[in-house]
Amino acid sequence: MRSLSLAHPLPRVHALTLAVSAALALAGCDGNGVDPYIAPAAEPAGLGTADTAALPSTTAYVDTGATNSRSNPCNVTLDTNAGVRVLQGFLDVWTPSSLAVDAGVTLAAANGCPAVTASTWTGIPGDATDGKVKNATVHAANIDYVKTATQARTAAQALAAYLDDRRNKGYSVSDGMGPLTSLWRAGAQQTSTIASVDATQPVTPVVNDGGNNVGVGSATNADLGLAVDFINNIADGSTEPPKRFYKYARPWRWSSDVKVVPALESAKSGTPATDGGFPSGHTAEAWRDTLAMAYLVPQRYQELVSRAMEMGENRILAGMHSPLDVMGGRVHATAVVAYSLSSAAYYTSTVKSAAFAQAQSYLKTKAGASDFNALNTYAHTVKTSDTTSADYDRFADRTANKAAYLKRLTYGMPQINAVGVAATVPKGAEVLLETRLPYLSADQRRVVLKTTALDSGYPLGNDGEGWGRLNLFAAADGYGAFNGDVAVTMDSTLGGFSALDSWRNDIAGKGKLTKLGTGTLRLSGNNTFTGGTVITAGTLGADSTAALGSGDVYVKGGTLESAAPGVLAIGGAYTQASGALKLVMSSATNGGLKVNGNFVVVDGTLSIGFAGTYKPAVGDTLTVMTTGAQRGGRFTAVSVAGFSKVTTTYTAGGISVRIDGV
C-alpha cells in the first residue's frame, strides 16, 4: 500500500507546517512507522532584486552608425566616426601616423567641416610616414601568430583559406547551417561560380566569384526572398573608414616570414597606401551575414557565429590578415548588425517577424519538421559523413566550437589593461539575442550579455561601449551568473525556444532562479549559484549533477525533472509544497537526488522514467533520494514507467522504490 500525504496544501508557511504535521500523523502504510515532524523550509528569499545592465555613458554606435563613412569631411575623426570609435581599443597597441580617415582620402570642405587632405602614409611598415607601435609585446605576438600559422598551414587549410578569400562571403558562410545548408541555399537561390573541391586537388588560379552572394530577393523569390532581403538590408558595414584611420599594414608587409597562400599571391594589392589590414573586411562581412542568418535560424546560432570565427581564422591562414585584424572585423560587424536591427530605418518589427516566419516555415516544410523544435533536432542531426558535401556539419562538436570560439576572441593576447572590471553592455546589443532567447525581456538579455562577457583588459576590449567584450557563443547558452534574482517565464503555446530551451553555461552568483510559465527550461552547467531555485509552473530540467547550484530547492507547482547523468545534488533543503518530481534514471541511482539539507514533501507526486538502454528488472530497487539531514512527508502518488507494482520505502535518510511487477 502506498503512503499518503495531505492532498490540498495551504499557501502560507505556517499552513504548510500544519499540513505536514497532519500528513505525518497518518503515515505508516508501508511498514515504515510514523514519520517524525520535519518543518518545511521557507521559499528561498534570494537577493530580493534583479540584476541590471545599465547603458554606457559614451556615445552609442546604434545612435550614430550612419557616420561610419569616408565620404563626409564631418566624419573623419575618432569622435565623429562611429566605425572608427568602436575600434578605439586598437590605439592601445598602435598609434597611426594621423588621427583621421585620410589614407587615400581627399574631401572638399562641406557641411561646415574643413577639407580633408590625403595622408602621406605609404602603407610600408617602418618608413618615415608610418605610425608607431605602442605596445611592442602585443604587436609582436600579432605578427608572430601569422608567421607560425602560415608556415604550418596544411593543404586543407590552404584550400579553405583560398575559398573564403575568393568566394562571395554570404555563400561561403552559409555552410554554417550544417544539415540545413543545401535547403537554405536552394530556397535562397544562392549560387557561387567557385566550387568547393577536395583538399587533395590543386587550388585553381585566382578568380572572382560570379555568384549572387546571399541569394535572390523577394521580388522574384517566394521561398526565402524575405530572408534574403533581411540579410541584404544590413546597414553599410564598410570597414574602409577605420582601415583608412588606423593605417596598419597587412601581415605580409610586416614580415616576409608570413607565407601567403600561393594561389592568392596575385590577389595582393599593389597600392599599400589604401590597403590597410585593420580591421579585416572579409571577417566583418562574414559576421554581418552570419548574425543575420542566426537571427532567422537561431537553431544554428552558435554554429553560425563559429563559422564567422572560422572565416577570421582563414584570413590569417591565407596570410592576408593578423589576429587583431580579424578581431577588429568581428567587433565592427557586431555593432553594425545591432545598429541595423535596432533601427526602424532598416528593420521594423513587422519586417523582422515576416523574415523570421518565412525562414522557419520554409525550412520546416523542406525538412519535414513538425515545429521549431523538430527543426532544431533536424538541424543537429548528422546527415552525411562526406566532408565534400554542402551539408557536412563541421560544427557538430559543440565542445570544440566553444574552445575555438573562446581562443579566437583574444588569440591568446595578453591583458594589457585592468582585469576584473565589470562589463558594460552596448546600447541595442540585446537585439542580437532577440530570437535566440525570445522568452527573456530586453533587460534580461542585456544581463545575459553582461554575465557572459569576456574579462576586461584584452586588446580591443575597451571600446567604451562593450562591443569588444561580447561573447555571443556563451550568451546563446543563457546567463553566466545570477547576480540578481532571475524569473523566467516561458509560454509553451508560443513554441520554439519559448516552449523548450537549455542553458548550458556554468552559472555562478548569489541570486535565485524562479521558473514560471508553461514551457520547459533545462540546466546542464556546473552551476554554483547560491540563491536557491523555485519552480512555480512548467518544467525545470536538471541535466547535470550540479544543475541547481548550492541553494535550497522549492517546488510549489510544475515539475522538477532530474535527468542528471549521476546523482543530482541539492545543496540546501528540498521542499515540495505541490507539483511533481520526475526522475529520468540511467541506473539505479543516476537521476536520483542527494539532498544536503532536509527533504520535506507536503504534497505532490513522484514519477520515474528511464533514459537510454537502462530498464530495471522486477526485484530491483531504485534510490530516489538520500539526505544527510532529515526527511519528512510522503508523495501523494508514485509511478514508474513500465511497471504497475512498486513499493516505496521511506526512511529517516532517504526514499527508495522497489520494482515488484509489471
Cβ–Cβ under 8 Å, residues 578 and 554: no
DSSP-derived 3-state class of residue 142: helix
Of 26-30, 395-399, 430-434, the range with the lowest mean pLDDT is 26-30
Q: What is the pLDDT of residue 75?
A: 98
Instruction: List the alpha helices (DSSP H) in 29-90.
Output: 61-64, 82-85
Of the candidates 583, 550, 579, the residue with the CA atom closest to the CA atom of residue 567: 583
Give pLDDT tens digits for 622-636: 999 999 999 999 999
Give pLDDT tens digits for 538-591: 999 999 999 999 999 999 999 999 999 999 999 999 999 999 999 999 999 999
Cα angle for residues 36, 38, 44 (degrees, 5° grid) = 165
User: Cα-atom radius of gyration of the chain, to the nearest Å?
Assistant: 29
The rounded mean pLDDT for the chain is 94
Q: What is the pLDDT of residue 197?
A: 65
Residue boundaries of the structural domains of the chain: 61-451, 482-661
Give the pairing type, strands 132-133 and 94-95: antiparallel
Residue 418 CB partners (closer than 8 Å, separation 6+)? 456, 457
Amino acid at 300: R
Global pTM?
0.94
Give pLDDT tens digits for 55-72: 999 999 999 999 999 999
- What CATH number was assigned to the domain covering residues 61-451? 1.20.144.10
Phi, psi (rounded to 5 degrees) for 623 = -90, 110
Cβ–Cβ under 8 Å, residues 176 and 290: yes
CA distances from 509 to 46, 54, 505, 543 (A): 10, 18, 12, 19
Q: What is the pLDDT of residue 27?
A: 37
Rounded distance between C-alpha atoms, residue 527 and residue 507, angstroms: 5
Q: Is the pLDDT of residue 2 over 80?
A: no
C-alpha cell at 41: 523550509
Q: Is the pLDDT of residue 48 over 80?
A: yes
Handedness of CA 464, 95, 78, 313 (dihedral sign): negative
Cβ–Cβ under 8 Å, residues 515 and 495: no
CA dihedral 387, 393, 398, 404 (to 10 degrees): 60
CA distances from 336 to 66, 126, 155 (A): 10, 32, 34
Residue 427 CB partners (closer than 8 Å, separation 6+)? 55, 56, 60, 61, 62, 63, 465
Give pLDDT tens digits for 458-480: 999 999 999 999 999 999 999 99
Residue 201 CB partners (closer than 8 Å, separation 6+)? none
Q: Is the peptide bond before 279 cis (omega within 30 degrees of 0)?
A: yes
